[in-house]
Amino acid sequence: MLVSHSPIKPTTLLMHSSTTAATSPTHSSAMASMTSILLRCSLLVLLLVQSTHSSVTPQPKDAIAEEHKQPHPSSSSTYVVLTNHLAKPSKFDTLERWYASMVGKNSNRIRHTYSTVMHGFAVRLTDGEAQRMATVPGVSRVYKDRVYHTQTTRSPWFMGLHDDFGAWPDAEFGDGVIIGFVDTGIWPERASFNDAGLSPVRSTWRGKCVDAPGFNASLCNNKLVGAKSFVAFSSPRDIVGHGTHVASTAAGSEVSSADLFKFAGGRASGVARMARIAMYKACNRGCLTSDVVAAIDAAVSDGVDLISMSLASRPEPFYDDLLAVATFGAERRGVFVVLAGGNQGPEASVISNVAPWMTTVGAATTDRVFPATLWLGNGVVLAGQSLYNIPFSQGAGMVPLVGSSCGSDDLTPDKVMGKVVVCSDGAGASAGFYVQRAGGAGMVSADGTERFWDSVMAQPFNLPGLLLSSTGAKKLDDYMTAVAYPVASFAFTCDTVTGENRAPMVAGFSSRGPNPIAPEILKPDVIAPGVNILAAWSGAASPSRSDKDPRRVEYNIISGTSMACPHVAGAAALIKKRHGGWTPAMIRSVLMTTAGPLDKDGRDIVDSGSAVGAANMGATPLTAGAGLVLPRLAMDPGLVYDAGTQDYVDFLCTLNYTVEQMRQFVPELTKCERTIPGGVANLNYPSFVVVFDGRTSVRTVTRTVTKVLARPESYNVTVAAPDDVKVTVTPATLELKRPKEKMSYTVEFRAMAGAKVRPAGTWDFGHIAWENREHRVRSPVAFKWDN
């Protein structure tokens, strides 16, 4: 999915903010009444819309119309037919002719063919035809199409990137690395895609930009080096905004000044601002598997170095998950793949994209907020966030509060005229247009997944409005329940405040583990900035993403694991530039083993999705993975955990997949030659999951590290574990002398006799770290009790 919450849900860009902290609003008896302020604000909004957006790049005439053309309805659906290309009969000189023979006279129904990360084709079939297709010799599997959903000025600096030292200059800002994005397309006119100072793309690059109605290939340059669409009746142009946002987040060029309605103003930069962008459009509002797989196939064939996909859907067994199959094919060809973990938190075990060859990213806050205040009639002051851009202070006049579902049918003038509407279902800024139409004076909404106000998603309200955390919403509800005529007033300073809030915190919406498909593989892997991220935006989409919103902006602030994912893609591009020979597993290893488990003040990272009133607010590895990605440390890790195609084949065999299921990943496989000794927990992964199931009190696992420095090094182990678990690492010291030298170690986890009894399903956490004076290679450990 495109990972953005609905209706208030997450999506985000990278920039440096120079704004300072705001002062708190105070009472002023001299202020005009709230009603008169709102009338003046309405006039200002009209003027602002006319003046601020008049310079936005106009949308090409054909760009919208073409996106809404749909094929004629029929009883057929799109199916992906996976084939064993090695079984092609010799009478067919090409795979395409073989595929056409399978479909017969309806070969014009074939939409895509796949030849790089896997083999097969996508075709329109009736259900009966699909069943018959599954019996055709050479067909491995037939999948019905499914839908995935799409799931910044300060964030690069928050991740520790600096112009003059560290990862940016060491990696030449990612110069020349090509990132493929599978998303909603791109708006190429944005300044973030300017190619000033960039050399031509490398000669081995096979991608290109494709002309289409509303999109001229000449718009591409040495920054945007490829743009193709795999969506029927669509060009690579982005009418949604999501693809433009994620591409500029990962690899947008430096822009001296960027903001949204004067919020988050400052210098903008992608994480790898000299990397190149190739856009593979596979999504509009949603993404069909057949289109996504075609995009991945093309990206790998074109020669991208890595792929960023801010997509998620419900987890499936790997052999039922075409995204897992396609990304396995990408990994086989050395392409690093990073994906969003999903926006279904804070419930447990809802993490998406959980295969060990994927790098899975959760969302965290940065140290930047957009504060707004609601003053209640009983004197209680509630802090929230808002991108409403007309400042005024709280005055003597209070406005009545009224509760509503905030559905369009419930927002009628007789209910809400002249009142502040309190939405009960977490409505976002798009609902503000219905509130305004019904005569409402303002709106308040609550993000039920966020415990803390400074982790909620700021919304570009068209009328006075703000978003509260679940804690603030409870206080508001208590007040409205206790009095007959509840009233309140707003205070908006329209400031961007940095450095004062606790950060990072894991966003409540960020999907959590444990891994529902392979519990022994800890997911997510890492977290990255994903809340209130500023990045480039489509000229065809409003900032609120509402069709009723006439505003157009060059940059937008959105939230989601969709926004966290490209931060990691950018960091991976920096690593790829510095260490071009590293495997995808090595890149994932350094991102994880150098990630930070502490916040900017040296305290444990907090989980904003923890239940209100819960005693433990710490973010566990099931929520934060190894921690916040820190590119500066990842450039020089000391040791890495490597793995390759054969390791993942052994992993799948250890899951007891049949030969038929395995051939979807490895068509040439005739049988599973081996499995991983000791089970899938022994895959050479940079994290550990230890399960005590009552049958044994001892678990032993093995890992192998590879030295990546030229000079000799020695490492000593440090361990953190629950009090009643004894951890023994053998050897306790690693002496490595040669470049690329490998050394294995074993870890025995022993639940001590007399340990406290834990309910089944209880989790505890710790870590194992190899350390010397220069390096710390840290792996999170999760302990599950299934007694």
Are 271 and 570 within 8 A, CB to CB? yes
Would residue 693 show up in a list of annotated catalytic residues for this protein?
no
For Cα atoms 729, 734, 735, give the angle at the middle one, nearest 5 degrees: 160
Name which of 316, 335, 346 is nearest 664 in CA terms. Answer: 316
Q: Where do we find the tokens 């991108």?
A: 387
Distance between CA 741 and CA 736 in Å, rounded? 7
- Contact predicate 413/492, CB 8 Å: no
| 3-state SS, one letter per residue, for 217-254 | HHHCCCCEEEEEECCCCCCCECCCCHHHHHHHHHHCCC
CA distances from 319 to 116, 354, 649 (A): 18, 13, 12
Give 389-406 as a DSSP string.
---B--BS--EEEEEE--
Q: Which residues pair with 777 in a beta bridge?
A: 770
Question: Rounded to whole angstroms, how far apart are CA atoms 419 and 402?
Answer: 7
Residue 428 pairs in a beta bridge with none
**Which of 154, 148, 205 minimizes the C-alpha distance to 176?**
205
DSSP summary character for residue 652: H
Q: Treating both helix axes as pointing N-terminal to C-terminal, what angle do 561-578 and 242-251 enclose, rounded to 10 degrees?
A: 30
- Would you say 236 and 212 are in contact if contact means Cβ atoms under 8 Å apart? yes
Tokens of 552: 């157009």
Going by the DSSP 8-state scheme, the letter that residue 176 receives in this structure is: T
Q: Rounded to 5 degrees, what are φ and ψ at 682?
A: -95, 5
Tokens 């990408």 correspond to what residue?
330
Q: Is 24 tagged catalytic?
A: no
Which residue in this structure is represented by tokens 């290679």? 777
Distances (CA, A) of 590 to 140, 231, 334: 36, 35, 16
Q: Which of 183, 447, 454, 549 is an active site residue?
A: 183
Reference 7, options 407, 339, 437, 529; nearest CA is: 407
- Helices marked H in 78-160: 95-103, 127-133, 155-158
Q: Which residues contact 655 (CB under 8 A, 6 or more apart)?
A: 318, 518, 680
Query: Per DSSP, what are the bridge partners of residue 149?
Result: 312
DSSP state, residue 462: S
Q: Check 149, 242, 245, 567 and give the catalytic one.
A: 242
Q: Could you confirm whether 775 is annotated as catalytic? A: no
Q: Which of 756, 753, 755, 763 is nearest to 785 (CA)?
A: 763
Catalytic residue among 562, 610, 687, 779: 562
Which residues are annotated as catalytic? 183, 242, 562
